[in-house]
Structure formats: C-alpha cells, structure tokens
Amino acid sequence: MAAGKKKEQKLRKKKRSRTLQERAEQIFRYIDRQPEPFPKSEFKDIGLNPKTAESWIQLIEYIQSQPRIRVTKMGSQTYIEKLENKYLSMMRKRIIDSNLSLKERTDAMNDYINALLTLETIEDGRIKK
C-alpha cells in the first residue's frame, strides 16, 4: 500500500503544472464539447475539484462582464486599449440577455452600435475631423 502511494506521488511530481492559459483553454474546450447545460461537478473530468471549478467560473464570469480591451504588441512593448466604456459593456449584456424581448434586444443592439460609433469619433474630448 505504501509503495502505491509513493508511486502516485512520484507521478504527480513529474506532471508539469498547467499554465493559467492552458487551464482556461482546457475549460473552454470542455464547455464547447457539452451538448447541453451540465453541472459544475462534471469539471472533475478535466481534473478540477469543485472549489477550483467554482473559482474558475467566477473568474470567467467576472472577465466576461468587463468592458472589452485590445492588446497590441509593438516591439518589446505591450499596449492595452479599452474598446468599450461601462455603458457599452452594459448594452452588450442586454443584447445577449434572453430574458428580454426580441424588440428590447434589437433596441439595445441599435443603441450599442450608435454609442460605439460616437465613442469611435471622439478623441481626447474633441470630435475627429
């Protein structure tokens, strides 16, 4: 029995820890393969215990609710640009909210596009020419 535990511990040590990106990719691949809603406990199939699965789900939901950003690399520098403000982020959520009527979602989409166009034409508080 003790020999089996030692062998298991050795195997665990040999396993390379997954990076955050590898773990996130694995989670989304798993979600994509599911034909219908599934209980969080099924994340055990990819090695996530319930507490870790809950932490990942909360992190993903938080990130998905934030305004969109663009990451641009120029040489050795990385620049982060905010693509949406809080209003646009809220409107994007309304567009995909299936609890709203189709008309409300369409109106939200039109408002989103108009606000996005306005935001893109404003630079440093002045209208672009």
Taking only the tens place, the pLDDT of each residue in 22-81 is 999 999 999 999 999 999 999 999 999 999 999 999 999 999 888 888 899 999 999 998
Cβ atoms of residues 84 and 78 within 8 Å: no
Identify the CA nearest to 22 among candidates 46, 43, 5, 39: 46
**What local confidence, expressed as pLDDT, does residue 105 receive?**
95
pTM of the model: 0.67
Strand, coil or helix: what is 26?
helix
Query: How far from chain centre, in Å, is Cα 96?
Result: 15
- Tell me which DSSP letter residue 81 carries: E
- Is beta strand 126-127 parallel, antiparallel or unpaired with respect to 122-123? antiparallel
**What local confidence, expressed as pLDDT, does residue 90 receive?**
86
- Map out the domains of the chain as residue ranges: 19-64, 84-129
**What local confidence, expressed as pLDDT, does residue 13 receive?**
56
Most distant CA atoms of the chain, gap in Å? 77
**What local confidence, expressed as pLDDT, does residue 66 receive?**
87
Residues 100-118 have a mean pLDDT of 92
Query: Distance between CA 122 and CA 69 in Å, rounded?
Result: 17
